[in-house]
Homo-oligomer: A and B are copies of this chain.
Amino acid sequence: MLFASDNWAGAHPAIASSLVEHAAGYASAYGTGALDQAVDRKFSEIFERDVAVFFVATGTAANSLSLASVAKPGGIVFCHRESHVIEDECGAPELLSGGLRLFPVDGPRGKIEPDALKAAIGRFAPEFVHAGRAAALSLTQATEAGTVYTLDEIAGLADMARGAGIPVHMDGARFANALAALDCTPAEMTWKRGVDLLSFGGTKNGCWCAEAVVLFDPGRAKEFSFIRKRSAQLFSKARFISAQFDAYFRDGLWLEIARGSNTMAQRLAATFRASRNARLAWEPQANEVFAILKRTAAERARHQGAVFYDWHPPHNLAADIGPDEQLFRFVTSFATTEADVDRFAAAIG
């Protein structure tokens, strides 16, 4: 009943084992070994085009360096008001990009609303030295609200960015969960819809530590290599990331894990729909479920060992929550079992 976060789980056995399997023997350092190169090729294969891949240590690093690579003096990055990059990264994007400013854009359920983006972009057009200037759009897929942009929505927002002359970054900390939800290809969810660079996260989906920046324009790779190194994000034994991704991609493990987590999230959702002590705040689409519970039910579950976080309600939801109710977040992972969910269902009643 540990629904605190997908980063509370350890590593999928296949991924942990891969680290033993590749432990022996030598490989040239800094990502130039045979396994590293094989994984690089695998990324290009998965994305159906030549991509440049850069491992980094954390999702925050992937986002921050992605944005650093498109930074310019006075630059403004448009992101959702509740996005990880603005809410949970302690100023890393600003520091590592040399001073980009993150501009919060509104929209229900974690998704940027096109009109809101249009207005936000409009504030910085034409370019005006005092106000700063548009530098990038950052989308989160799946969102922090456990929802998923449709392919059309991605294309629509990306078109707006393109019209403003700025690149599109996708924060894919839960990329696999979104992909599983949409049941499309990685290419369709990214560059085919106008995404220029991607934070590709494996950690939340069963890896120990496997995050990468994927550049759909490999021509920018050389510049990025310096950005990464001078941000202290270049692993020497990069093989330990490659070994994880090698197992991750083998036989579609990554999608299998993501589908599993999503299924567990749906099972949780069904629990909330069925409960008289709880209701869904909105429909989950990936592996995060937001629900409004009676405080007494939540306490009961916690006494029985359930772990999940209180959640700050978005603006538009706050009024809808009664005084004896509260909003909570529940996250599933490869480690979540049906038994977990069912025991939790029994606990809340």
Chain A residues within 8 Å of chain B by Cβ, number: 80
B74–A7 CB distance below 8 A: no
Copies in the complex: 4
Residues of A within 8 A of B (CB): 2, 4-5, 7-13, 15-17, 19-20, 22-30, 56-61, 64-65, 68, 72-75, 87-92, 94-96, 98-102, 123, 127, 129-133, 203-204, 208-209, 222-223, 225-227, 229-237, 239-240, 312, 335
A73–B101 CB distance below 8 A: no
CB distance from A285 to the nearest CB of B (A): 22
Select from chain B the residue with minimum beta-carbon distance to A4: B28
CB distance from A151 to the nearest CB of B (A): 29
A223–B9 CB distance below 8 A: no
Bound complex: CA A98 to CA B73 (Å): 10
CB distance from A58 to the nearest CB of B (A): 5
Partner of A90, one of B5, B59, B229: B229
- Given the interface pairs A58-B233, A129-B225, A131-B90, the reply to whether A26 lies near B13 with Cβ below 8 Å is no
B87–A232 CB distance below 8 A: no
CB distance from A17 to the nearest CB of B (A): 6
Partner of A19, one of B20, B75, B312: B20
Partner of A208, one of B26, B74, B237: B237
Select from chain B the residue with minimum beta-carbon distance to A98: B98
